[in-house]
């Protein structure tokens, strides 16, 4: 299926500007969702029931005063306010503008790499969803099923990264089983129940979107990524280290390397 956003002779820069703004704005909303979803869905031990995705409008964490619209513009708002609340002067975490820049930049990079068509749009949207999942898991040790499960089913139904339905089904099954097994083995060695449904759902979703062919690449990068940040954190005495950021990293790496990986396996692959 080919849905082209722009003919080759039309300048692409307006689309890049749009993708950067949309990506950063959606990431800004994702940061708010990472803040409020654990309350709305009762994940927190003491949820605040009045905090939902739609209400109240964005407000300062310190003084609860509503944030004025110029300061809501992604990245620019942070720079305008010099990283502080315009009302009370409390510091705004620099992670927010950084994530917004990553969201906008990654969406543009996905379009540039995968093209201005369905594959590129999917890659940009997946980048934003994975950025959200990595962030919420890092903050809350939680991969919400309201996101991972639809993500899994969508990939299983159709994916521009693996046209073969059987490859996607086997990928989903492989991701699910291997993640469950890995958790069982590590849990047995450490005498703890480490099986986490969110991580299994995310690994299955990666397998569904990318197919069995990409699974070794996904698992390799995810494992190495996890070791890279889990090992120093464990040494500092942290008991539970979230796996979501590593799984998201493995997914992105495998997805971006997939054309080259297929060429290595069978030669001459093009999208
Ligand atoms: Zn304030």
Instruction: Read off the pLDDT of residues 103-120 as tens digits, 9 standing for 90 and up.
Output: 999 999 999 999 999 999
Q: Same domain, yes or no, for 107 and 221?
A: no
pLDDT of residue 239: 80
| Residue located via tokens 């054309």 | 259
Q: Same domain, yes or no, for 96 and 171?
A: no
Mean pLDDT in consecutive groups of 10 residues from the start of the chain, 271 residues: 62 92 97 94 88 91 91 94 93 96 98 94 98 96 96 97 96 96 88 86 98 95 95 89 96 94 74 52
Give CA torsion, residues 33, 35, 39, 45, to 10 deg. Answer: 140
Rounded distance, CA 196 to CA 175, Å? 14
Question: 91 C-alpha to center of ligand 1: Å?
Answer: 8
pLDDT of residue 194: 78
Question: 195 C-alpha to center of ligand 1: Å?
Answer: 40
pLDDT of residue 117: 92
Q: Same domain, yes or no, for 204 and 256?
A: yes
pLDDT of residue 6: 61
Question: 192 C-alpha to center of ligand 1: Å?
Answer: 42
Residue 134 falls inside a structural domain: no
Question: 60 C-alpha to center of ligand 1: Å?
Answer: 5
Q: Same domain, yes or no, for 24 and 71?
A: yes
Question: 92 C-alpha to center of ligand 1: Å?
Answer: 9
Residue that finishes a domain, picked among 120, 153, 181: 120
CB atoms inside a 10 Å sphere around CB 263: 12
Q: Same domain, yes or no, for 154 and 87?
A: no
Residue 113 falls inside a structural domain: yes
pLDDT of residue 36: 94
Collapsing DSSP to helix, strand or coil, 94 comes out as coil
Q: Same domain, yes or no, for 178 and 59?
A: no
Using alpha carbons, select from 60, 4, 67, 9 the residue that is nearest to residue 35: 60
Residue that finishes a domain, picked among 59, 88, 120: 120
Q: Same domain, yes or no, for 179 and 68?
A: no
Q: Same domain, yes or no, for 110 and 184?
A: no
Domain that holds residue 193: 143-271
Question: 237 C-alpha to center of ligand 1: Å?
Answer: 33
Using alpha carbons, select from 141, 125, 165, 169 the residue that is nearest to residue 30: 125
Q: Same domain, yes or no, for 34 and 83?
A: yes
Q: Same domain, yes or no, for 39 and 72?
A: yes
Six token digits for residue 49 = 């029931």
The set of residues, in sequence order, having a beta carbon less than 8 Å from that of 91 and lying 6+ positions away, is 83, 84, 85
β-pair partners for 66: 59
pLDDT of residue 45: 87
Rounded distance, CA 67 to CA 71, Å? 7
The set of residues, in sequence order, having a beta carbon less than 8 Å from that of 110 and lying 6+ positions away, is 120, 123, 124, 126, 127
Question: 151 C-alpha to center of ligand 1: Å?
Answer: 36
Q: How many domains does the chain have?
A: 2
- Name the DSSP class of 71: G
Residue 126 falls inside a structural domain: no
Residue 239 falls inside a structural domain: yes
Residue 62 falls inside a structural domain: yes
Question: 84 C-alpha to center of ligand 1: Å?
Answer: 8
Q: Same domain, yes or no, for 110 and 214?
A: no
Residue 1 falls inside a structural domain: no
Question: 72 C-alpha to center of ligand 1: Å?
Answer: 14
Question: 57 C-alpha to center of ligand 1: Å?
Answer: 14
Q: Same domain, yes or no, for 268 and 163?
A: yes
Question: 20 C-alpha to center of ligand 1: Å?
Answer: 28
β-pair partners for 91: 84
Question: 254 C-alpha to center of ligand 1: Å?
Answer: 41
């Amino acid at each position: 299926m080919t849905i082209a956003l722009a003919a080759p002779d039309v300048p692409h820069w307006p689309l890049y500007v749009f993708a950067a703004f949309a990506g950063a704005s959606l990431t800004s909303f994702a940061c708010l969702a990472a803040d409020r979803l654990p309350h709305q869905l009762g994940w927190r031990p003491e949820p605040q029931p009045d905090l939902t995705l739609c209400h109240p409008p964005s407000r300062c964490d310190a003084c609860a005063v509503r944030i004025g619209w110029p300061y809501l513009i992604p990245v620019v708002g942070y720079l305008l306010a010099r990283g502080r609340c315009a009302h009370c002067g409390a510091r705004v975490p620099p992670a927010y503008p950084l994530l917004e820049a990553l969201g906008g930049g990654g969406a543009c990079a996905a379009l540039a790499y995968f093209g201005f068509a369905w594959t590129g749009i999917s890659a940009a949207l997946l980048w934003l969803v994975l950025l959200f999942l990595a962030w919420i898991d890092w903050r809350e040790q939680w991969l919400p099923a309201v996101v991972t499960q639809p993500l899994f089913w969508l990939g299983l139904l159709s994916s521009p990264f693996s046209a073969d339905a059987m490859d996607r089904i086997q990928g989903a099954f492989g991701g699910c089983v291997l993640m469950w097994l890995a958790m069982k083995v590590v849990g047995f060695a450490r005498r703890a129940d480490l099986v986490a449904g969110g991580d299994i759902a995310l690994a299955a979703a990666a397998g569904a979107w990318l197919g069995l062919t990409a699974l070794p690449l996904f698992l390799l990068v995810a494992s190495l990524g996890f070791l890279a940040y889990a090992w120093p954190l464990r040494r500092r005495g942290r008991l539970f280290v979230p796996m979501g950021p590593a799984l998201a990293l493995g997914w992105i790496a495998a997805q971006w390397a997939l054309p080259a990986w297929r060429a290595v396996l069978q030669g001459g692959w093009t999208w």
